[in-house]
Structure 1
């Protein structure tokens, strides 16, 4: 299974904010530090803000910070939210699979996908930023 770029960025952004302490980088700064397009980072920040995981303040002295909910959020729940609840493979659509009515693979792939998410459920953002990861996150991009 491969994560969407937005899921990957969301997790890295949350991890980065978790270790910055009182520093409040802007979305533009985070995008530059993580070497991703600003527009992509802005969409991810908007979704994280909507989920209540990130606080964003505009204007002078503004920036991004991790909310309390963001610090304790389940990594599995975050991945589920960004990945959606679609199937691993496309069995329907414009060109449906001829095995659709009797396929046993679809169910097996769905169970494997859920096992993947379930293995991430007990982990929180705080867990994945503990040493030795936290200090490494501080070395990404500009120094805070």
Structure 2
């Protein structure tokens, strides 16, 4: 599964584009097959993770990240990709167990969040209205972009 998600290296894309595509492919693979995320987290030293590290590392290197920072950069990307993908897959499984109407489930949570104490939870209350219709894939890619911008600013 991971080999399929990694696909063939793309030679005409920028490192940012390649990392985004790789991250989204892994996100979609783990969403469709949650066991893949579990396998990756249970076997972090095995070849599936090594293949991901290699693909990410090649792109981080191509971005011009200093050698001393490459391991930390790739570790941050890998942790974000796997962690968020596994959490998203778990949320989807929970949603199916609760009846499968994602927007209704999130709307109910948003309503509860809107009723929280305004002084104790000002941020959560401020995002409650956006929560029911948010796009998990777009939010995931926004996180990847934040990491990539941070790496680019240090090159």
Instruction: Give TM-score, length-normalised by structure 2.
Output: 0.28
Which structure has more relative contact order (CA 8 Å, sep 6+)? It is 1
Q: TM-score, normalised by structure 1?
A: 0.29
**Higher share in strand:** 1
Q: Which has the higher helix share?
A: 2
